[in-house]
Amino acid sequence: MKSIIKILKFAPHLWPYYLGVSIGTVIMALLNQAQPILTKMAIDRLPGASIEQGDLLPVLIIVFAIFLSDVGATLVSNISGYYGDIMGVKLKYFLSTKYYDHLLTLSQKYYANELTGKIINRLNRSISGVADFINMFANNFFQFLLTTVFTLVIVAKYSWVVALLFASLYPIFLWLTGRTSKKWQVYQKEINEASDIASGRFAEVISEIKVAKSYTSEGAESTFFKRMLKRTIKITKPQSKLWHKEDIIRRLILNAIFGFVYVYIFWQAVNGKFTVGETVLLIQYGALIRLPIFSMSFLVDRTQRAIADSKDYFDSMNEVSDIIDKKNAPSLKVGNGVVKFSAVDFSYEDAQKVLKNISFEIGAGQKLALVGESGEGKSTITSLLLRLYDPNSGSVYIDNTDISTITQKSLRNNIAVVFQEATLFSGTIRENIAYGRPGASLKEIQKAAKSANATEFIKKLPNGLDTVVGERGMKLSGGQKQRIAIARAILKDAPILILDEATSSLDSKSENEVQIALEKLMKGRTVLIIAHRLSTISEVDVIVTIKNGEVDEIGAPKTLSSTGGIYSQLLMLQNKNDDTTKKKLKKYEISE
């Protein structure tokens, strides 16, 4: 329950809504008390009443008062419900944006250990569940609570025994419910975990549907998805059995107590202790108090689900990024754009070191190519430059400034990235190019598209720059996506560029068009390249070869071409076409 209270405190700006709904529930509770009292007054006037003597008029006035109380209850209920609904969606908005903003602050390490779909499902399940519960809680729980209190006070005026019997129902109910609560929570946690895994896999497969279809793995994926969901069914069975078995016991005990109370009321009435009106009043209050008690099963069920959901939410919100800006960290001001790695060691978690004592420098306006087998840490080096991770030891510098001492935002604002697989967002081409510099003018976007050699194909599309590219750019070819990504980097106009070359996956025409665009992009910038073409490597200023996570050689292409090292060996293989050569080149992610 602490996590629910924490959420209420978490959104203090919603207290006016909490208060408004609470006032509505107070009024509703008071109006609920009116009908039994008014009914009692009317019934007590009936014995010996005469129409001729005008005795019916007070009764009709009471009936009209009952009508007005019903109308008032209807109005208050709907007004309170309206504010409850608004409160619910505002709370959902607040929790969702807080969650999203927090996720955006977390480092790459968090995402490497979490399924994307699991993160998304947590947003949908946890936040929706909690917001809906608080809406229901505000609209129902307080009304039930106040109805109970008012009812017990009024009933006690007529019979403290009946009031005491009614009051005893609550501790009995809570004790019976408490017997199952902890076990129920354990089951719910297991259900949530299985559901999150299923949703995570679902999101992965849908986002990579082309891969799933190309490997004809639809059946295997469907089987896995069903297995996870069947697991939720398997866990739900004992959970539900536990709950409903206990609910039967609860209801039988409560019904027995209610039955005893009604017998006591009628027995007292027969003995003249209660008038007919008082008897009806007590029976009506019994019915009035019965609803909150029997609704408590539903409320407790929803509460337990909300507690489980809110725990997941706060577990995520309590995640702390391992990459944080130092207090009062300055912004990076790039002068020449010199990049330097100094004695950098790095490992993921507690695994074996991926990089060992990595040291090299990229001079102002120079192009440096990283060459090494797949898995040697080339992409890790680019991640360290972007400060998606911090080194275990050593430092990364830009213009002699340790990047760990400056703000992450200013660092990344000065680095443009073109990934091997061009990443586009759903939306238009215009929006994807402008992602490099939000707020860019149409003229600037068009200029960037032209520099990226993308104008020609954009003009042929139905809506030009306003053509929707689909999720992850699925409606565009590989070469087209790559040129949009290059245009985005051109528009950003950052002094430092990271290029994970993608020409290995393009046809010759697209490769040529992309290569021309890349040459324009690289001009005048400090460039770190993960190269996949020997022709690209031969054009750089410096080559750094990586072997076993360490720098093997550093030098100009001409110098390294005759040392017998990795680059020299690759050059000797470029004109061969046998299977052994192909395998060797593939190990280094170099195309023929």
Specify whether the CB–CB gap between 177 and 303 falls below 8 A: no
Tell me if 183 is assigned to some domain: yes
Tell me if 210 is assigned to some domain: no
End-to-end CA distance of the chain: 63
Tell me if 268 is assigned to some domain: yes
**Do residue 351 and residue 300 come from a single domain?**
no
Ordered alpha helix ranges (H), 123-217: 128-136, 142-158, 160-207, 209-214
Tell me if 254 is assigned to some domain: yes
Q: Mean pLDDT lowest for which of 3-12, 31-40, 189-198?
A: 3-12
Q: How confident is the model at residue 46 (pLDDT cuts 50, 70, 90)?
A: low
**pLDDT on residue 543:** 92
CA-CA-CA-CA torsion for 148, 154, 155, 158, nearest 10 degrees?
170
- Residues 490, 485: Cα–Cα separation, whole Å: 9
- Residues 421, 499: Cα–Cα separation, whole Å: 11
- Residues 213, 72: Cα–Cα separation, whole Å: 61
Q: What is the percentage of the chain residues whose pLDDT exceeds 90?
A: 13
CB neighbours of residue 454 within 10 Å: 28
**Do residue 294 and residue 347 come from a single domain?**
no
For residue 85, what are the contacts with CB-CB under 8 A and spacing of at least 6? 135
**pLDDT digits 0-9 by tens, 184-223:** 778 877 888 888 788 777 777 776 665 566 556 777 778 8
- Residues 546, 563: Cα–Cα separation, whole Å: 15
**Do residue 292 and residue 368 come from a single domain?**
no
**pLDDT digits 0-9 by tens, 289-333:** 877 777 776 677 677 777 777 777 787 888 888 888 888 999 988
Q: Please state the φ and ψ torsions of residue 392, each to the nearest 5 degrees.
A: -70, -35
**pLDDT on residue 308:** 72
Task: Give the distance, in angstroms, between the CA of residue 274 and the centroid of all CA atoms in the same chain.
Answer: 60
**pLDDT on residue 404:** 92
Tell me if 109 is assigned to some domain: yes
**Do residue 94 and residue 26 come from a single domain?**
yes
Q: Hey, is 466 helix, strand or coil?
A: helix
**pLDDT on residue 363:** 92
**Do residue 155 and residue 48 come from a single domain?**
yes
**Do residue 343 and residue 305 come from a single domain?**
no
Contacts 24+ apart (CB under 8 A), 568-577: 570/371, 570/534, 570/537, 571/534, 574/534
Please give the mean pLDDT across all residues of the chain: 81
**Do residue 84 and residue 181 come from a single domain?**
yes
**Do residue 256 and residue 391 come from a single domain?**
no
Tell me if 123 is assigned to some domain: yes
Q: What is the mean pLDDT of residues 220-228?
A: 82
pLDDT value at 121 more than 90: no
- Residues 334, 410: Cα–Cα separation, whole Å: 10
Report the number of distinct structural domains present in the chain.
Answer: 2
Stated as kind and residue range, the H or E segment containing 252 is helix 218-270
Token output for 323: 């990459």
pLDDT value at 49 more than 70: no
**pLDDT on residue 349:** 76
**pLDDT on residue 577:** 67
Q: How confident is the model at residue 398 (pLDDT cuts 50, 70, 90)?
A: very high
- Residues 364, 369: Cα–Cα separation, whole Å: 15
Q: How confident is the model at residue 405 (pLDDT cuts 50, 70, 90)?
A: very high
- Residues 193, 126: Cα–Cα separation, whole Å: 12
**pLDDT digits 0-9 by tens, 149-160:** 888 888 888 888
Tell me if 287 is assigned to some domain: yes
Q: pLDDT: is 143 or 392 the higher one?
A: 392
**Do residue 70 and residue 139 come from a single domain?**
yes
Q: What is the DSSP string of 196-251?
A: HHHHHHHHHHHHTHHHHHHTT-HHHHHHHHHHHHHHHHHHHHHHHHHHHHHHHHHH
**Do residue 148 and residue 279 come from a single domain?**
yes
Burial of 442 per CB tally in 10 Å (0-12, 13-18, 19+): exposed
The CATH number assigned to the domain holding 548 equals 3.40.50.300
Instruction: Give me the domain span that covers residue 549.
Output: 337-414+525-592
Q: What is the mean pLDDT of residues 511-521?
A: 77
Tell me if 450 is assigned to some domain: no
**Do residue 279 and residue 350 come from a single domain?**
no
The CATH number assigned to the domain holding 143 equals 1.20.1560.10
**Do residue 306 and residue 341 come from a single domain?**
no
pLDDT value at 503 more than 70: no
Burial of 439 per CB tally in 10 Å (0-12, 13-18, 19+): exposed
